[in-house]
């Protein structure tokens, strides 16, 4: 007969790994719980994890599935996680870890994160003094001057009416195809210009859905790793691209470079 081993009451939640020779300043956000403070955990040469003790029962599979179905609660957790990452990243080169990165105890956390030290150092080297910026490009759904044009009406009776109807339908399709081609060309041009300024870039699938009354389509959804000293240059480029392309070029950031730290 084997003795049942009770499940641990606590777990170690890891927010991020940063480059620090000494324990970092962790004043600021409380994290996911007020029951225990944020603390530093050395995980390798010049590497420190920012961790917090949490109740293990809050992160069982059942508890986490319930949280995923509760949008306000999930948002609260995500916001608390992000606030800690941002606070640390404002002070030190930082690799953010995914939401709900947990270990049973400090020993296991230190061992697991220590095994990834080479990858952490590579990510920190790549992203130090850089920020992540998002660029989204939208074009109107209908070419200028044709907004009021609807689908061709059915042909009226008379000689040549059917051919005229087909010609109008073909012409409308051709204009739509040209508009789509022009829109994709704009997306490629914006991406190329911003990529020259950026250290790295990631092009993401455009968002297909939009509000029923919104007559625009997203043709570029990309994120860029940009040196902090080039932020003003990026803002000027975005303004120039709006003028040159006539498209809606939306710039967001700066963010902690979540997209460029790699799989850790």
**Residues 27-48: pLDDT tens digits?**
999 999 999 999 999 998 899 9
* Cβ contact 131:228 at 8 Å: yes
Q: How far apart are CA 25 and CA 18, in angstroms?
A: 11
* Cβ contact 5:54 at 8 Å: no
Least-confidence region, from 1-5, 32-36, 89-93, 112-116: 1-5
Predicted confidence at residue 170, as pLDDT, reads: 63
Predicted confidence at residue 176, as pLDDT, reads: 67
Residue 158 pLDDT grade (very low, low, confident, very high; cuts 50, 70, 90): low
**244-258 residue pLDDT tens:** 999 999 999 999 999
Residue 167 pLDDT grade (very low, low, confident, very high; cuts 50, 70, 90): low
The answer on pLDDT for 214 being more than 90 is no
Mean pLDDT of 107-133: 94
Instruction: Provide the percentage of residues in the chain whose pLDDT is more than 90.
Output: 60
* Cβ contact 44:110 at 8 Å: no
Predicted confidence at residue 183, as pLDDT, reads: 86
Q: How far apart are CA 102 and CA 53, in angstroms?
A: 10
For the record, the structure tokens of 109 come out as: 């956390």
* Cβ contact 130:226 at 8 Å: yes
In the chain, the N- to C-terminal Cα span, in Å, equals 40
Residue 207 pLDDT grade (very low, low, confident, very high; cuts 50, 70, 90): confident
Q: How far apart are CA 194 and CA 200, in angstroms?
A: 10
Predicted confidence at residue 144, as pLDDT, reads: 45
pTM over the 0.85 mark: no
Mean pLDDT of 55-73: 87
Residue, of 165 and 49, whose pLDDT is higher: 49
The answer on pLDDT for 237 being more than 60 is yes
Mean pLDDT of 17-27: 89
Q: How far apart are CA 152 and CA 148, in angstroms?
A: 12
Could you tell me the CA-to-CA distances from 8 to 60, 195, 208, 242 in Å, in that order?
A: 11, 48, 44, 56
CA–CA–CA angle 144, 149, 153 (5° rounding): 160
Taking residue 172's Cβ as centre, other Cβ atoms within 10 Å add up to 15
């Amino acid at each position: 007969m084997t003795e049942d081993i009770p499940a641990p009451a606590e777990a170690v939640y890891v927010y991020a790994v940063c480059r620090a020779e000494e324990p970092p300043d962790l004043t600021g956000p409380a994290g996911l719980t007020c029951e225990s403070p944020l603390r530093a955990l050395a995980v390798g040469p010049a590497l420190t994890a920012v961790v917090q003790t949490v109740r293990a029962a809050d992160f069982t599979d059942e508890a986490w599935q319930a949280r995923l179905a509760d949008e306000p609660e999930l948002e609260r957790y995500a916001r608390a996680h992000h606030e800690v990452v941002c606070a640390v990243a404002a002070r030190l080169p930082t690799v953010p870890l995914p939401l709900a990165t947990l270990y049973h105890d400090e020993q296991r956390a230190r061992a697991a994160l220590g095994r990834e030290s080479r990858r952490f150092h590579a990510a920190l080297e790549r992203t130090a003094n850089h920020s992540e910026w998002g660029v989204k490009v939208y074009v109107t759904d209908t070419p200028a001057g044709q907004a009021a044009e609807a689908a061709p009406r059915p042909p009226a009776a008379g000689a040549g009416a059917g051919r005229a109807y087909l010609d109008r339908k073909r012409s409308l399709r051709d204009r739509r195809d040209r508009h789509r081609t022009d829109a994709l060309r704009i997306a490629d041009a914006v991406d190329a210009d911003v990529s020259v300024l950026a250290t790295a870039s990631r092009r993401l699938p455009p968002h297909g859905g939009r509000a029923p009354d919104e007559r625009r389509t997203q043709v570029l959804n990309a994120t860029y790793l940009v040196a902090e000293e080039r932020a003003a240059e990026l803002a000027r480029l975005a303004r120039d691209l709006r003028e040159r392309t006539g498209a809606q070029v939306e710039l967001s950031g700066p963010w902690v470079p979540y997209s460029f730290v790699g799989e850790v």
